[in-house]
Amino acid sequence: MENATSAPGASLIPDGIGAFTAAHLTIIAILAVLTVIAIVYGAKLRRDRRAAERERIERQEEMEAQAPTLPRQAATPAPSAPPPPPPPAADEAIPANDPMASEPIPAAGPLEDNPAVEAVTPEPGPASGPEDGPVTQLKGLGPKVAARLAELGITTVGQIAALDADAAARLDTELGAFRGRMARDRWIEQARFLAAGDRAGFEAVFGKL
């Protein structure tokens, strides 16, 4: 009893248990430090990988931006030219033993004996006079007005020369954008000189044809 109470405050834990617990705590602390180091290192590796990936993407985009873009037409292949047509086949030679080759071709008779030629021989037409001259001889009457007059059935100076006042007025209303040109350029007066064959009188009044 005296020995048990003679050392008050003495540790009740054996020395071996205390040493064991201290060793475990040291190991746990080392493991914790290693774990923290591993976490930090892993995070750094991830950051490095992400940075490298971003750098690779930026470099690729920069290269694509600097590369010249080919025109759209160059990418489209040109249509191939159509093949040339085959050469015409040469006339087949007539065999020497062909009975048609040995037959002589009958000579054509004289033209005066051919009734077909006589049938198509044209009759001589009546000689055209000055009144049959085209309306384009008139000064101030160009091809567009002549085309409009042709639509109305008037193609010769004789037809213009034959117009009286009423017929001329009716024709003038049909000329559309060319209305008034007949009186202004004196078509009827010109046409009467030409239809009569009086070229000298025409040129004395209206100038040379």
Q: What is the mean pLDDT of residues 179-197?
A: 94
**CA 143 remoteness from chain centre:** 34
Checking 148-151 for CB contacts under 8 A at 24+ apart, the result is 148/174, 148/175, 148/176, 148/178, 149/175
Which whole-number Å values give the CA distances from 40 to 34, 35, 101, 170, in the listed order? 10, 9, 109, 109
Structure tokens at 19: 């040493």
Structure tokens at 30: 């080392």
In the prediction, which pLDDT does 118 show?
Answer: 45
Q: Which of 126, 205, 121, 193 is nearest to 161 (CA)?
A: 193
Structure tokens at 63: 């290269």
Least confident of 6-10, 66-70, 167-171, 184-188: 6-10
Question: For residue range 37-91, what is the model confidence (pLDDT) as tens digits?
Answer: 989 888 888 888 888 887 887 777 677 666 555 445 444 555 566 666 666 554 4
User: Any idea what the Cα angle at residue 201 is, between residues 195 and 202, rounded to 5°?
Assistant: 60
In the prediction, which pLDDT does 76 show?
Answer: 55
Q: Is residue 200 a contact partner of residue 193, using CB atoms and an 8 Å limit?
A: no
In the prediction, which pLDDT does 135 show?
Answer: 94
In angstroms, the CA 147 to CA 145 distance is: 5
Question: For residue range 127-175, what is the model confidence (pLDDT) as tens digits?
Answer: 478 999 999 999 989 999 999 999 999 999 999 999 999 999 999 999 9
Least confident of 9-18, 21-30, 53-62, 149-158: 9-18
Q: Is residue 133 a contact partner of residue 182, using CB atoms and an 8 Å limit?
A: no
Q: What is the mean pLDDT of residues 21-43?
A: 88
Q: Which helix (H) or strand (E) holds 52?
A: helix 15-66
Q: Report the b/e string of 167-180 with b at 16+ CB within 10 A.
A: eeeebbeeeeebee
